[in-house]
Structure 1
Amino acid sequence: MVNTSPRLRDSLDYEDPEETDPRLFFGFGTLSINSAEYEDYEPDDDHRPIAGRPFPSATRRRGKQRRQGQALNDAPLFEYRTAADGDVFRVVTLLAGTGDAPIQCRLDLEDSRKPRQSYRCLSYCWGATTDRNVAILLNGFRFAVTENLHNALQCIRKANSEVRIWVDQICINQSDYDERAHQVSIMKHIFSKAKVVVWLGEEDDRSRKLCEYARKTGRGDYAPRDSPKTVLNRILSPRQLQDAVQRLLQRQWFTRVWVIPEVALASYTEVAIGNDLISWDNLVRLIKDTQLPQNGGFDKQTALLGNPRQRIAILSQMAASQREGLLHTDITQLLILAKSSDATDHRDKVYAFFGLTLLSLRPDYRQLPDYKRSIERLYVEIAKDYVNSILYIDYYSKWHSLSEQHRTQQLMSMLYSAGRLHQHFDLPSWVPDWTFAWYQAPFWCTTDANLANFSGKDDWSAGIRSQYRAGGEKLGTFELVGDAGRHWLRVSALIIDRVVEVSETTPASTPGFEGYGASSPAGSAVTLDSPTFSYGRGSFRTKSGLLGMATKGVQAGDVLAVIVGADVPVVLRAMDHLNWDRDRDVYTLLCESFVQSHDVMGGEMLSTDIWRAEDIDIT
C-alpha cells in the first residue's frame, strides 16, 4: 500500500511538485486514466435531460440486462487496495448505460492540485437510511451503495459516453478514519476545481413544473404577445408555486451539513431533480421571488435559525466569498448552519467547514481532522480557536475588514448558541453544542433569509442583528482563562436581578408594551404572548417585578445579567461551591432571555449602572 503524506500546502495555486506521485503514472495498481480527450459532461441547456434514453429492441435490451445483472450478482466484493493520501483523490468514471441496466464504473486516481482531466462532484444526501442495500459494479467488483445514490447515478450517466464524477460514498474509504480525515483536509482543492451537480432526488409533478417555471424566469423566454405573468401562471398558479417551493425546500438535501462546503467551493453549480436540470442561480432567484404563506402560530420555515431560505442565502454569500478568493471569517454563519444541519458523524458539524475558514491557514493550526477525537474535546478546542482568532489574530479580522461591531457580534453569537439548557454533551456552558439543533425563535438575531445581496465580504450577519442593545455597543472583558485543560470564559457583566418565580407558560404582555423598535417588520416584535417567541419557553418574574421569557429549565434563584457588548440579557446560575476561594464569582450560562422592559432591552439600565458591572467567570 502506498502511503505518502507530504505536508499540505495552503495555496490553491497550481504548483509543480518536486516529485510526482507514482500512483499517477499509468500501470500503477488500479490506476486507469483514459488518455483520450474527455468529452466534458456539459448539458447544452438547462432543459436538456441528464440521461439519454435510446430504444433498442426489447429482446436485445432484456438479454443484455440479464447478463449484466448476473455479472453483478456473481462479482466478488470490492476492496480498496491503494490509499488516497498526499495530493491524490479518487474519481469515479461512470460507463455508458441506460434505464435499469446495472451501473458499471471504474475508480481512477487524480491529482487534487493539478487534475489531468476534468470531472464533476456530486452533492447529495445518502438517503433516509445509510444502509447500503443496492449494488453497482466497480472495477469489475460488487460495491454496495445507498438507494438514493444509486438513483442519482442512474440519472447522471450517459447513454453513449463516460462521465467522470467525484462521489464521497465511493471515492473515500469510509471505514478508514485516517483516509477520511485526509480527504476532508483537501476537500477545498477537490471542489474548487470542479463543477458540482446537486442531486435533490426523484422528480414529481410539481418539481417538473417548478423547473420549467425557473427556466422561463431565468431566460425571459416569452412569446411576443404574452406577458411574463400570463406565461408563468400557465405553468404554476401563485398558490401552486408556493406549494412547489415549500415541497422542494423540505427535501433532505437542504438539511445535510456536507452540502454546504460542496456548493460554497464549487466553480459552478447545477441542480438536478430526476432528469430535470436547472442552474443554482435560477434556483436562488426562484426562492427569492416566491413569498411563502404566513402562518399564525409557530412556523419552522420562518421562525428557526437555519431555515431553508436562510440556508440558501448563507450558501450563496459563502460561494461569493470563495469566488473572490476570500476564506470565511463569519463564525455566526457557521454556527447557524452547523446547528441546523444533520450529520451522520457529529464531528462533521465542525470538520465540514475545515477548508472554508481562515483557521486552516493559521501558521499554528496544522492539525488534520481527527475522527478518533472525542466530540466533547473537539467542540471545546474549536470554540477556543474561534474565540482566540477573533480576539487576537490580527490578520483574521483584517481578512474581510471586520469592524469592531462585527467581531463583537460574532463573539456574542457563540454565547447565545451555547448555554447549559441547550447542550446534550458535557461541555463548558460557554461552548456551543453543535449537535443541539435550533428549536426556538431567537431573541439575539432575526431569521430573515437576507437574499437581497451576495458579496464576497462577510457582512451578511450584520443584516440579521436584533434591534436590542441591552449591553451597549462596546465590548467589555472577554477572554479565556484557566489551566489544566479546563477553561473559563471571563466577561464583564451587570447582574440586574434575581428570578423569584417561574412558569411553564407565558402571561399576556403588560398593556402599553408593544415590542421594541419602530422599524421592526409587522408581526416580528417580541411580546410575552407572542406564539412565535413563546414556543419552547416559559416565563419568569424577578425580585423587582420584571417579567420575561427564557428557555424552560430556569429556576427560582437564577440571576438575570447583561454582558457588556451583548444585545440581549442572559440567565446565569451561581456556582456557589466554586466561589469560596476565588476573587471572582463563577456562574453557569443557561440561555438567552427577553425582559419586558425598554430600559433593559434598550441599554439604558446598563449605561446608568455601568459602574456596577464586574468581571465574572462562566464555566
Structure 2
Amino acid sequence: MVSVSPRLRDSLDYEEPEATDPRFSLGFRSLDLATNGYDQYELQYDHRPFSGFPKTGAIERKRRRRQSDQVLDYAVPFQYRTTADGEAFRLALLLPGTGTSPVECRLIWESSKRPKREYACLSYCWETVERTTAILCDGYRFPITKNLLMALQKVRKPTIGIHIWIDQICINQDDYQERAHQVSIMKYIFSNAKEVIVWLGEAGDRSAKLCEYARRMARGQHAPNDRYSPKSALNRIMNQRQLQDALQRLLERPWFKRVWVIPEVALSHFSVVAIGDSTVSWDNLVRLIRDTQLPQSAGFDKQTALLGNPRQRIAIITQMSASQSKGLFHTDIMQLLILAKSSQATDVRDKVYAFYGVTLLRTHPYYGEIPDRKTSIERLYVEIACHYVNSILYDDYYSRWHGLNEARRTQQLMSILYSAGRLHQHHNLPSWVPDWTYAWYQAPLWCKTESNLATLLPRDDWSAGIRSDHRAGGERRETFEIIDAATARHQLRVSALIFDSILETYEATPAMTLSEEHGPLEPSDSATALHSPTLSYGRDFFKTTKGFFGMATRGIRQNDTVVLLLGGDVPFVLRAFNRESNGTKTFMLLCECYVQANSVMVGDYMRTEWSRSEDITIL
C-alpha cells in the first residue's frame, strides 16, 4: 500500500499532466500503485445500458442476497487516502455484474481537462443523506444511499466494466475543501463525458410505455394518412389520457426538483434518461413534454402557476444545454433565481454553487465556513447579489456574453428585486437581496410562467417571452447602485416615484367603491386580476389613501408605501424607516404588488408624473 501526498500543486494548465501529477500515470489507483488489469475494462457504448436482471427463481435470489450481505458485512470500511485537487478527479470503474450480486467498483484518477478514457456521468437524486446500504469499492465496504444502489445495479454491464463518475463515490463528501474544488471543475467533468445517464428511479406509473411512446413519436411511427386515427400506432401504446397521467407523474419524481441535476444535464453532450429497465434520450423526452398538453385544473395549480414549474425548468435547462454546447454563457441571474428557488438542496449554499460551471460566476465554492454556517450562508447570498448587480451595470464582458441591451439589463436588475423582499426571506438579509432558500409559492405578477419549450430562443431572448405585459415603471431606469453602509450591510439606492400609501388591508376581495380623486375605477381586462384565484393565492388585498385597490403578499399593513421604481414592470410595497440615509428617504422592501388601474400598470401614470421621482435608499 503506497500513500501519496494529499495535496498536489494546481498549476497543471500549461504542462503535461503526466510530468507533474503521478495520479494520471498508467495503473495509478486511489489507494495503491498496483496494477490490476484495467485494460480489459473498456467502455463499450451501448444504447441499451440496462440489460435487465436474469430471470432467476425466488430461492436463488434469496441465496444471492445472503451471499451479498455476508461479503459486505465482513468487508473493512473504506477510507479515502488521497485528496482530489488540481485538475484531477476520481473515476469509478464499475465492474461487471447482474441482479442483486454485490456492486463492485475501483477508483482511478483522471484529468478533468485532458481525459484519456471515455466515461459517463450519473445524474440522480440522493433523496436522503442516510447511507443505508453499501457496495465494494477497491475491496472495501463503501456506504451509499439506496437510490444509488438501485441505479448502479441497473447501469452496470453483465460482461464488461464501465467508467463512470458518481459524486457520492468519486468525491470525499466529508472533505469540504475537496468538495469545493471538485465543484469548481465540474464543468470539465461533465462537458468531457461521453454521456450523462439520468436515473429517475424504479419503473412505475406506465414509465416503460412512456419511454416507448417517446421513442416511437421521435421516429414518426404513426399513421398520418389515417383520417380516423392519425396517431393510431401511438394510441395502441397509450391513449391521450393515459399519456397525460404518466407524464404528470413522471414530472413529479424527485429528480426534477433537485438543484444539482440542472448543470449535470446542461453541461452534457448527450443525456439518456433511465427509469427502471427503460431508457429514452433526453431530447426525445423533451419533445414529448413539449408536444403533450397537460390537463388544466381549476384554481391555483402549482404545475403551471409557479415559477420553476417542471415544464419551465426543463425548457430553461434545454436552452442552457444548447447554449453551453456552442460555448456561450447563456445563464443569467433571472434564470438562476427561477431555477434555484424552485429547487431542493441538502446544503442551501448549493443553490448558488451548483451553477458555478454554467455561468460567469465568480464566487468560488467554499463549504468550510465554520462554526457559524448560518452567517456564511447570509454572506454568500449578499455577495452573489452584489456580484450580479455590479456585473450587469458595469462589466462589459458580462454584457457582451449575454448580449445585454438597456432593456434586458433593466429587466435582470429588477428580477433581483422581485425575487427579494422581507416578506420573502428566511435569513437576515438586506431586504433587496433574494433569499435563495425561499421557494416560490405565489404566481408572479412580474413575469409569466410559460415554459417556452416550443421556441427555444437563443441566448437571452428567452426572457422576452416570459416578461409580463405590465410597464408600471416605464422603460426608463435611472439610479440603481449598491451602497456600502458603515455597518457593512449593503444598501441599494434607486430612483422611485412614491405613488400612494396603504389605508386598509383585507383578507378577502373588498367591495369596489369610487375613487375620491380619480372617479370610477377604470374597467379593463387586467382588473380581473383581483378576482383571479391564481394571482390572489397567498396575497392580501388593500385600499390606498387615494382610493385605489390592489393586492400584495400577506404581511403588508396600514401605512406601508406603494412605489413605482423607474424601469420596473410592477409596483412595490415598501415600509418606511424614521431616518434618512445620505439625504434620501429610507425604506425596507417588502414585496411586489398589483394596483387595479390601467393608467398605473401600463405606465401612463409614470409618464405624466416621472418628474416627481426621487432617489430612495432600500435597506
What is aligned with 1:293?
295
Q: Please give the TM-score of this superposition, normalised by the length of structure 2.
A: 0.92
| Offset, 1:453 | 2.4
Q: Does the aligned pair in 2 maintain the 1:210–1:241 contact within 8 Å?
A: yes
Q: Does the aligned pair in 1 maintain the 2:224–2:230 contact within 8 Å?
A: no
Percent of matched pairs sharing the same residue: 59
Q: Does the aligned pair in 2 maintain the 1:38–1:118 contact within 8 Å?
A: no
Q: Does the aligned pair in 1 maintain the 2:481–2:494 contact within 8 Å?
A: yes
Deviation string 1:472-506 (CA, Å, 9 cap, x unpaired) is 11211101012442211110000000101011223
Determine helix, strand or coil for the equivalent of 1:480.
Answer: strand
| Offset, 1:34 | 5.2
What is aligned with 1:192?
191
**Aligned partners of 1:613, 1:380: CA distance in 2, in Å?**
27
Determine helix, strand or coil for the equivalent of 1:451.
Answer: coil
Whichever residue aligns with residue 231 of structure 1, its letter is: A
**Aligned partners of 2:213, 2:340: CA distance in 1, in Å?**
31
What is aligned with 1:262?
264
Of the three residues 498, 502, 520, the one matched with 1:499 is: 502
Alignment of 1:372-521 (within 5 A): 372=369, 374-484=376-486, 485-507=488-510, 513-516=523-526
1:169 to 2:173 alignment? no
Q: Does the aligned pair in 2 maintain the 1:213–1:232 contact within 8 Å?
A: yes
**Aligned partners of 2:38, 2:161: CA distance in 1, in Å?**
13
What is aligned with 1:131?
130
Alignment of 1:166-245 (within 5 A): 166-194=165-193, 195-222=195-222, 228-245=230-247
Determine helix, strand or coil for the equivalent of 2:236.
Answer: helix
Determine helix, strand or coil for the equivalent of 1:609.
Answer: helix
Determine helix, strand or coil for the equivalent of 1:571.
Answer: strand
Q: Does the aligned pair in 2 maintain the 1:339–1:434 contact within 8 Å?
A: yes
| Offset, 1:27 | 4.3
Q: Quickly say closer, same or farther: Cα 1:376–1:62, change in 2 above 3 A.
A: closer
What is aligned with 1:98?
98
Whichever residue aligns with residue 513 of structure 1, its letter is: P
Deviation string 1:116-149 (CA, Å, 9 cap, x unpaired) is 111111111012x321101111111111111111
Whichever residue aligns with residue 618 of structure 1, its letter is: I
How big is the alpha-carbon RMSD for the aligned residues of Structure 1 and Structure 2?
2.2
Determine helix, strand or coil for the equivalent of 1:296.
Answer: coil
| Offset, 1:400 | 3.0
Q: Does the aligned pair in 2 maintain the 1:498–1:557 contact within 8 Å?
A: yes
Unaligned runs of 5+ in 1: 517-524
Determine helix, strand or coil for the equivalent of 1:359.
Answer: coil
Whichever residue aligns with residue 476 of structure 1, its letter is: E
Whichever residue aligns with residue 188 of structure 1, its letter is: K
Q: Quickly say closer, same or farther: Cα 1:500–1:35, change in 2 above 3 A.
A: same
Q: Does the aligned pair in 2 maintain the 1:586–1:616 contact within 8 Å?
A: yes
1:141 to 2:151 alignment? no
Q: Does the aligned pair in 1 maintain the 2:221–2:234 contact within 8 Å?
A: no
| Offset, 1:53 | 3.7
Whichever residue aligns with residue 108 of structure 2, its letter is: D
What is aligned with 1:40?
43
**Aligned partners of 1:549, 1:587: CA distance in 2, in Å?**
19
**Aligned partners of 1:137, 1:2: CA distance in 2, in Å?**
23
| Offset, 1:457 | 1.2
Of the three residues 8, 11, 32, the one matched with 1:4 is: 8
What is aligned with 1:519?
none
Unaligned runs of 5+ in 2: 514-520
1:540 to 2:542 alignment? yes
Whichever residue aligns with residue 7 of structure 2, its letter is: N
1:589 to 2:592 alignment? no
| Offset, 1:455 | 4.6
Q: Does the aligned pair in 2 maintain the 1:257–1:338 contact within 8 Å?
A: yes
Whichever residue aligns with residue 10 of structure 2, its letter is: P
Whichever residue aligns with residue 82 of structure 1, its letter is: T
Of the three residues 289, 314, 317, the one matched with 2:316 is: 314
**More displaced, 35-44 or 493-502?**
35-44
**Aligned partners of 2:336, 2:218: CA distance in 1, in Å?**
30
| Offset, 1:172 | 0.7
| Offset, 1:309 | 0.2
Alignment of 1:551-562 (within 5 A): 551-562=553-564
| Offset, 1:115 | 0.9
**Aligned partners of 2:44, 2:601: CA distance in 1, in Å?**
56
Deviation string 1:388-422 (CA, Å, 9 cap, x unpaired) is 00000001111132221111101000000000000
Deviation string 1:243-265 (CA, Å, 9 cap, x unpaired) is 11100000000000000000000
Determine helix, strand or coil for the equivalent of 2:588.
Answer: strand
| Offset, 1:59 | 8.6
Determine helix, strand or coil for the equivalent of 1:110.
Answer: strand
Q: Does the aligned pair in 1 maintain the 2:208–2:278 contact within 8 Å?
A: yes
Q: Does the aligned pair in 2 maintain the 1:324–1:456 contact within 8 Å?
A: no
Whichever residue aligns with residue 565 of structure 2, its letter is: I
**Aligned partners of 1:515, 1:475: CA distance in 2, in Å?**
27
**Aligned partners of 2:332, 2:422: CA distance in 1, in Å?**
24
Alignment of 1:347-362 (within 5 A): 347-360=349-362
1:369 to 2:372 alignment? no
| Offset, 1:526 | 5.3
Determine helix, strand or coil for the equivalent of 1:121.
Answer: strand
Deviation string 1:148-172 (CA, Å, 9 cap, x unpaired) is 1111111111111112111111111
Determine helix, strand or coil for the equivalent of 1:377.
Answer: helix
**Aligned partners of 1:611, 1:183: CA distance in 2, in Å?**
52
Q: Does the aligned pair in 2 maintain the 1:508–1:529 contact within 8 Å?
A: no
| Offset, 1:515 | 2.9
Determine helix, strand or coil for the equivalent of 1:178.
Answer: helix
| Offset, 1:602 | 0.7
**Aligned partners of 2:49, 2:28: CA distance in 1, in Å?**
36
Alignment of 1:16-27 (within 5 A): 16-17=16-17, 19-25=19-25, 26-27=27-28
What is aligned with 2:516?
none
Q: Does the aligned pair in 1 maintain the 2:522–2:598 contact within 8 Å?
A: no
Whichever residue aligns with residue 560 of structure 1, its letter is: V
**Aligned partners of 2:537, 2:85: CA distance in 1, in Å?**
48
Deviation string 1:321-369 (CA, Å, 9 cap, x unpaired) is 1000012342110000000000000100000001111134xxxx6x443
| Offset, 1:582 | 4.0
Determine helix, strand or coil for the equivalent of 1:189.
Answer: helix
**Aligned partners of 1:33, 1:109: CA distance in 2, in Å?**
14
Q: Does the aligned pair in 1 maintain the 2:319–2:458 contact within 8 Å?
A: yes
What is aligned with 1:522?
none
| Offset, 1:267 | 0.9
Q: Does the aligned pair in 2 maintain the 1:585–1:617 contact within 8 Å?
A: yes
